[in-house]
Amino acid sequence: MGSITVKGTYVPGFKDSPRRPNLYQDLGLWQGTINIQLPAGTDRNILIPNERIPGRDPFDSEENQDFLIRRCKLKGVLGYQILPIDKDTAAPRGHHASRVIEISLHKKIDVQPNEELEVELQGFED
């Protein structure tokens, strides 16, 4: 499997991460996301991760959601692209429609609002 590097701009978070401590803990991630606004015309395959995992927190049960994830790397730190989806229909629930991807990493890194970032998304066909 190959990878694709995309460039975008960091935009401050949407503050849902405190509701999902088990998701982050189970995946070995720092609890929080880095939201990256991608350019207009970004391919849907980049916006929608390719591996499904079950929701792990009471918030996810209440919202009837699972997650799509994809391994990634940002500033040399490994993590996942994360997108909540409806458990029954698999319809995306994140901010993908506005071309924002959410990245969570194995450790916290410093990013500044409007900082230009490059993220390597893994799991694409060569």
Question: Could you state, in order of their start, the residue ranges of all structural domains in the chain?
Answer: 2-124
Strands (E), 54-110: 65-74, 77-86, 100-105
Overall pTM surpassing 0.85 (yes/no): yes
* pLDDT beyond 90 at 18: no
Q: How far, in Å, CA of 60 to CA of 71, rounded?
A: 21
Q: Which two tokens stand for residue 63?
A: 């919202």
Q: How far, in Å, CA of 48 to CA of 22, rounded?
A: 22
> What CATH class is the domain 2-124?
mainly beta
Q: Average pLDDT, whole number, for the chain?
A: 91
Non-local CB neighbours of 78 within 8 Å, separated by 6+ positions? 71, 72, 105, 106
Mean pLDDT within 41-49: 91
